[in-house]
């Protein structure tokens, strides 16, 4: 299957700083990338959907000014957690998929996740 990488795998930062997480599709072009947050012992919560070249669509309750998403190319999306606070500590997972217009949506390929710890 297709490979999606995330960098960094773990990051520890001080409260108030910003952290950028990269998501790359290594061997395919991803028209759509998704960012999830996974709390301990809970399911993935979709944060936002980003399509290459357009603004991300955020889920209800997700602050777009706090979680900045950029999908600059078909192989790279970034999530920047701005002015991080301890409550932002979580496991962030991206996925990449191909979907086009009205065509059927294909499967998503998941990255390994990034563990963010805000002190």
Partner 1 sequence: AQSVSQHNHHVILSEAASLELGCNYSYGGTVNLFWYVQYPGQHLQLLLKYFSGDPLVKGIKGFEAEFIKSKFSFNLRKPSVQWSDTAEYFCAVTARSGGYQKVTFGTGTKLQVIP
Q: Which chain residues interact with partner 1 by CB under 8 A?
A: 1, 32, 34, 36, 42-46, 49, 51, 57, 93, 95, 97, 99, 104-105, 107-113
**CB-count exposure of residue 54 (10 Å: 0-12, 13-18, 19+):** exposed
Smallest gap, in angstroms, from Cβ of residue 99 to partner 1?
Answer: 5
Q: How far is CA 74 from CA 12, 44, 115, in A?
A: 28, 23, 24
CB closer to partner 1, 88 vs 92: 92
Smallest gap, in angstroms, from Cβ of residue 85 to partner 1?
Answer: 25
CB closer to partner 1, 16 vs 112: 112
**CB-count exposure of residue 23 (10 Å: 0-12, 13-18, 19+):** buried
CB closer to partner 1, 65 vs 104: 104
């Amino acid at each position: 299957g297709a490979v999606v990488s995330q960098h960094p795998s773990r990051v520890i930062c001080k409260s108030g700083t910003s952290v950028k997480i990269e998501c790359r599709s290594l061997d395919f072009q991803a028209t759509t990338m998704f960012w999830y947050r996974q709390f301990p012992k809970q399911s993935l919560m979709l944060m936002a959907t980003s399509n290459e070249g357009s603004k991300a669509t955020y889920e209800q309750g997700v602050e777009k000014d706090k979680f900045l998403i950029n999908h600059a190319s078909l192989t790279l999306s970034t999530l920047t957690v701005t002015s991080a606070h301890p409550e932002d500590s979580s496991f962030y997972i991206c996925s990449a998929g191909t979907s086009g217009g009205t065509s059927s949506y294909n499967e998503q390929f998941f990255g390994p996740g990034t563990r963010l710890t805000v002190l």
